[in-house]
A and B are shown apart, each in its own frame.
Chain A
Amino acid sequence: MKLGSAFDEMNGNRDGIRGAYRAYEEWLRGTPIELLIERHQQADLIFRRLGITFSVYGSEEGVERLIPFDIIPRILDPEEWRIVGSGVCQRVRAINAFLDDIYHEQHILKAGRIPAPLVLNNPSFRPEVLGLDLPRRTYVQVAGVDVVRVSANEFYVLEDNVRVPSGVSYMLENRETMMRIFPELFALQSVAPVNHYPELLLRTLRSTTPPGVSDPTVVVLTPGHFNSAYFEHAFLAMQMGVELVEGQDLFVEDDTVFMRTTEGPRRVDVIYRRIDDDFIDPLAFDAGSLLGVPGLLSVVRNGRVALANAIGTGIADDKAIYCFVPDMIDFYLGEKPILNNVPTYRCSIDDDRAYVLDHLEELVVKEVGGSGGYGMLVGPMSTAEDRYTFRQKIDAEPDNFIAQPTLNLSTCPTLVDGKIAPRHVDLRPYVLTGETTQVVPGGLTRVALREGSLVVNSSQGGGTKDTWVLEC
């Protein structure tokens, strides 16, 4: 099976330039390709000098790479953004309500809207937060929702990413770089700003402070500078003007988390943690972890420190629970979903599995716990051997796999090998929840640089673009 030509962000279905791109396309037509290539190199230099790199897992330790940056922006008009922006906020509101519910009364399970074993028996359902009352009942302060488009009006959510979503620093640096190398384009039209994100993030984090703290101290907790997203952790800490700490910098005493400073211990109230649940407290989770803080869970449960995101949010973006987000929206908000869910086949269900095994060539098969584009089969791009391997895997561990129809992601003009060509893209807006749920206009557009590829992850050769939301 081969996918037909995809909807293009600039050219639609080859039926004329779309509204959002009108001004840009005109500029592009009048600009020699050499100039684009030159600016592209300039952008590369900027990123390298800034040290915006990520480490690649499985490669030699310390190898740092640049995520390729494409200089042709992905542009959305105000109406398109209204749909995407309100759609992702709606999902995150529902997910926060869901998390608060399943860690307390579990109404949605009792009402039979989600099969109880699917939640309770899931390793991502964490008893450590059972019955815990969180400030503002917020579990997910930061979400990065992956949205794709298949036609002019059809947007789908692929994943909700409510554990420790990354990539927001690229959204900010991409914009910064674009404004530096193409100042003329920003004079041409009004692009909604994104650079207030760190300010909003800080406000969000402060708004979920434990009760009784008037001037909270916020820190960013990183696994350390060998982590693939270390640049981002440092960047956000710096932008917010808060400390970037590692587990060894923190300790627990007297029902309080402290950091070790040159002037002695300082109290910490909110931890924006960029390490997974399993590693945050070696006494409660993975005993071998050196990244976390022994005793942290006790302070969290006594309500004396707040984590962003909370422990146990992983249940909400589990690939099996994903199918039920539209039900959550209906159950908790009484609303209709603004964005579509991709139909999902759970291989643990016999009928679904039979269908999946019969249609491997058409489907995308994902590991339930997988991420980063690893452990994925894209049917239409697969070889007979790939499919054979996956058939075996699914037979061996059906619970571990889900499958979805292969969506023909929209494309966006991209500069590759000195030419402009369409490449598939997705979009990850970042949703913040504190006093309210909000999103900065735009997000991170990821682009699959290999021709025809639908996998946009940076670990799989994906790049990024600046995302523009035009203001009316």
Chain B
Amino acid sequence: MLTAMLGRTANNVYWMARYVERAENLARLLASTYHMSLLPAAGSSDTSQWEAPLSLAGDRADFLKRYSEITPGTVLAYMALDPENSSSIRSCLRLARENARATRPELTTEVWEGINQTYLEMESMSYSKMVDQGFREFFDWVKERSHLFRGAVYGTMRRGHAFTFSRLGTFIERADNTARFLALKWELLAPSGRPLAAEDYYRWGALLRAFSAFKAYREVYSGIIEPRRVAELLVLRRDMPRSLFACSAETVDILRNLRSEAACTRVAEQIHERLQRNRIDGILRSGLPRFLNGFVVRNNELHGMIGQEFMLVL
């Protein structure tokens, strides 16, 4: 079924998908932070929650050098639009397009034109424009472009190596982002075991929405929001597309199809087995952030091994 492709090209396709996914998740994080900052309880002077996106996908020192203080406006400008911040949404979309361009012949017209169009629109975006059209609209636009990208990949690409490595990039990146995002928010929201107050519901609701999981929560648990269940949903549920379990299951499938005997496939299976073995209460007992950070490290090792196995990255 699969025919070989250039190792470098596989690497490009993989990173193309990773950058699109990264841009989407960053938009989700910023949207959720923005949303929470509008909540009555947040208080207009409370900027601590804007530190979170910075610590997740930015360079604090670089930020402080070029922006005088942490305000919603400066963080948004830095994280969404700053071309000098290599982790900004703009940079991610530019890098996605650069990788796509470097492997143009492997992509269908739909995939390429979608990415190219996203890049062109992003390039014409400015802070004042973002304010005019509304921040939420901007974040929605980023998500839509990412959906369009995945849809175009899924709906038009031959099930060959380019398709496969693009999917692999999506799931490796998503797993990483979900884990890091959740670890961060978990510490921020710091569930203490006390009964949740009204504003807590808003916050946990906003967190679920950031993962497009609010509706799913209601369907699965049909009750009030409990942090423990939020964690279970996003870590261990196999039917939640952004959960660690779902991402690692996809990764294992893809790698088994590619080369079942490869060392990286073995590692992917181990990561997945660990998720299968665990129950949420056990994870919470030893600390969710600790568990998630461990996952990020192993996921990143897996990334490196995939590169060595298929992409001949010297």
Contacts and interface: CB of A to CB of B under 8 A. Distances in A.
Interface of A: 48-51, 224-225, 230-231, 234-235, 237-238, 243-246, 248-249, 259-264, 266
Interface stretch (B68-76, B109-117, B174-182, B234-242): B109-117
Contacts of B312: 260
B41 interface: no
Contact of B8 (A230, A235, A249, A263): A249
A259 B9 CA distance: 11
A145 B183 CA distance: 63
Given A50-B113, A224-B102, A262-B310, A246 B120 contact: no
A262 B4 contact: yes
Nearest to B165: A262
Contact of A51 (B8, B9, B102, B116): B116
Contacts of B294: none
20 contacts: A48-B120, A49-B113, A49-B117, A50-B113, A51-B104, A51-B116, A234-B101, A237-B105, A238-B104, A238-B105, A244-B105, A245-B6, A248-B8, A259-B6, A260-B7, A261-B5, A261-B7, A262-B5, A262-B7, A262-B311
A248 B8 CA distance: 8
Given A235-B104, A238-B104, A261-B7, 6 more contacts: A48-B120, A50-B116, A51-B101, A234-B104, A244-B103, A260-B312
B105 A263 contact: no
B22 interface: no
A249 B10 CA distance: 11
Contacts of A225: 98, 101-102
Contact of A230 (B9, B101, B165, B310): B101
Per DSSP, are chain A's interface residues mostly helix, strand or loop, or mixed?
mixed
A243 B5 CA distance: 8
B18 interface: no
B143 interface: no
A261 B162 CA distance: 12
A389 to B, nearest CB: 38
Interface string B113-133: 100110010000000000000
B6 A261 contact: yes
A230 B102 CA distance: 9
B161 interface: yes
Nearest to B107: A238
Contact of A260 (B8, B104, B116, B120): B8
A243 B4 CA distance: 10
Interface in B162-206: 165
Contact of A261 (B4, B104, B258): B4
Contacts of B165: 262
A301 to B, nearest CB: 26
B246 to A, nearest CB: 25
A260 B105 contact: no
A262 B3 CA distance: 9
A51 B7 contact: no
A174 B161 CA distance: 31
Q: What are the 7 closest A-B residue pairs judged by CB atoms, nearest first?
A: A263-B4, A261-B4, A238-B105, A234-B104, A225-B102, A262-B310, A237-B105
Interface string B39-75: 0000000000000000000000000000000000000
A50 B114 CA distance: 10
Given A49-B113, A49-B116, A262-B310, A246 B101 contact: no
Nearest to A261: B4
Nearest to B102: A225
A50 B98 CA distance: 14
Contacts of A266: 4
Nearest to A240: B105
Interface string B1-38: 00011111110000000000000000000000000000
Contacts of B113: 49-51
Nearest to A238: B105
B101 to A, nearest CB: 5
Contacts of B101: 51, 225, 230, 234
B121 to A, nearest CB: 11
Nearest to B161: A262
Nearest to B94: A62
Contact of A246 (B8, B112, B310): B8
B7 to A, nearest CB: 5
Contacts of B5: 243, 261-262
Contacts of A249: 6-9
Interface in B185-237: none
Nearest to B311: A262
A262 B5 CA distance: 6
A261 B112 CA distance: 22
B152 to A, nearest CB: 13
A75 B92 CA distance: 45
Nearest to B115: A51
A207 B53 CA distance: 58
A264 B236 CA distance: 36
A48 B161 CA distance: 28
Contacts of B7: 249, 260-262
Q: Output the residue of A51, A235, A246, A248 with the most chain B CB within 10 A.
A: A51
A112 B172 CA distance: 69
Nearest to A222: B102
A50 B102 CA distance: 14
A266 B104 CA distance: 21
A172 to B, nearest CB: 14
A238 B107 CA distance: 9
Contacts of B258: 262
Contacts of A235: 104
Contacts of A48: 120
A103 B261 CA distance: 52
Nearest to B100: A51
A234 B105 contact: yes
